[in-house]
A = this chain, B = another copy of it.
Amino acid sequence: MARLLHHTLDPASRLARLMFAEYGVGVELEAIKPWSRDPLLLEINPAATVPILLVEDHEPPVVGALAVIHAIEERFSPTTVEGLFPATHAGRAEVWRLMEWVLSKLNDEVTRYVIEEKIVKRDQRGGTPDPSVLRVAKANLVEHMLYFNWLFATRHWIAGDVMTLADFALAAHLSCLDYLGDVTWETSVETRDWYARIKSRPAFRSLLSDRVPGMPAHRGYADLDF
């Protein structure tokens, strides 16, 4: 069975887990703290990031979100069920546009700061979050949610009529932020409706039972009706 080095609240790791679960492929999870800069991790990945996928013992590790996404798609996507990429050029282009929005823009403007302040700082040196950084991240998230609401007002899924990898990418990020209580669902009705739908998929179950030691999930995190 393939093995995934991940962190519970790393959004890119969650995206990989969602893909495996959706494709009905088992994967062994090994939680690590990428910021600990363990020499063994740095040898595999000098960028000290997760996810890292170990497919076969004799093969080199698959390192980073883009490599892991492509590897899962190439090697584990079933031919018998609907995949996570649309069949048209235009559909796939929209998926990649939104993948970049989430993996780069949302991450750079919101998620990475929240994770750094609330998880990494606390774990590394018992530090407390810098409120000014969290304030900026929160303000940025408001803008992103407005855009997502606008998209979901006319689309059933984020890239169009069918669920795609871009839905999983956004859900992976929002689920991390939601765990930490940083999503204001009350003012984001369209996005909440979509999140309720994706959250109730079987693929999402394992994420909802995740717990970070010493940091309980925000109320509503695991509820399908939130």
Interface residues, chain A, CB within 8 Å of chain B?
45-47, 55, 59-60, 62-67, 70-71, 74-75, 89-90, 92-97, 99-101, 104-105, 108, 147
A103 to B226, alpha carbons, bound, how many Å?
A: 37
In the complex, the answer to whether B71 meets A93 with C-beta atoms within 8 Å is: yes
Instruction: Known contacts A46-B147, A147-B46; decide if A93 and B105 are in contact (CB<8 Å).
Output: no
Q: Which residues does chain B contribute within 8 Å of A67, judged by CB atoms?
A: 92-97, 100
Q: Which residues does chain B contribute within 8 Å of A92, judged by CB atoms?
A: 67, 70-71, 74
Which residue of chain B is the closest to A151 with respect to CB atoms?
Answer: B46
A90 to B189, alpha carbons, bound, how many Å?
A: 43
Q: Which residues does chain B contribute within 8 Å of A47, judged by CB atoms?
A: 100-101, 105
Interface of A is mostly: helix
Copies in the complex: 2
In the complex, the answer to whether B108 meets A63 with C-beta atoms within 8 Å is: no
Q: Tell which of B71, B100, B147 touches A89, judged by Cβ atoms closer than 8 Å.
A: B71
Q: Which residues does chain B contribute within 8 Å of A90, judged by CB atoms?
A: 59-60
In the complex, the answer to whether B97 meets A74 with C-beta atoms within 8 Å is: no
Q: Tell which of B64, B71, B100 touches A66, judged by Cβ atoms closer than 8 Å.
A: B100
Q: Which residues does chain B contribute within 8 Å of A89, judged by CB atoms?
A: 55, 59, 71, 74-75
Which residue of chain B is the closest to A96 with respect to CB atoms?
Answer: B67
In the complex, the answer to whether B105 meets A66 with C-beta atoms within 8 Å is: no
Q: Which residues does chain B contribute within 8 Å of A101, judged by CB atoms?
A: 47, 64
A62 → chain B closest CB, angstroms = 4
Q: Tell which of B45, B66, B71, B93 touches A63, judged by Cβ atoms closer than 8 Å.
A: B93
5 A-B pairs closest in CB distance: A67-B96, A66-B96, A64-B100, A62-B93, A63-B97
A146 → chain B closest CB, angstroms = 10
A164 to B115, alpha carbons, bound, how many Å?
A: 33
Which residue of chain B is the closest to A91 with respect to CB atoms?
Answer: B60
Q: Which residues does chain B contribute within 8 Å of A74, judged by CB atoms?
A: 89, 92
A112 to B93, alpha carbons, bound, how many Å?
A: 24
A67 to B159, alpha carbons, bound, how many Å?
A: 13
9 A-B interface contacts by CB (under 8 A): A47-B100, A55-B89, A60-B93, A60-B94, A64-B96, A66-B97, A66-B100, A67-B93, A70-B92
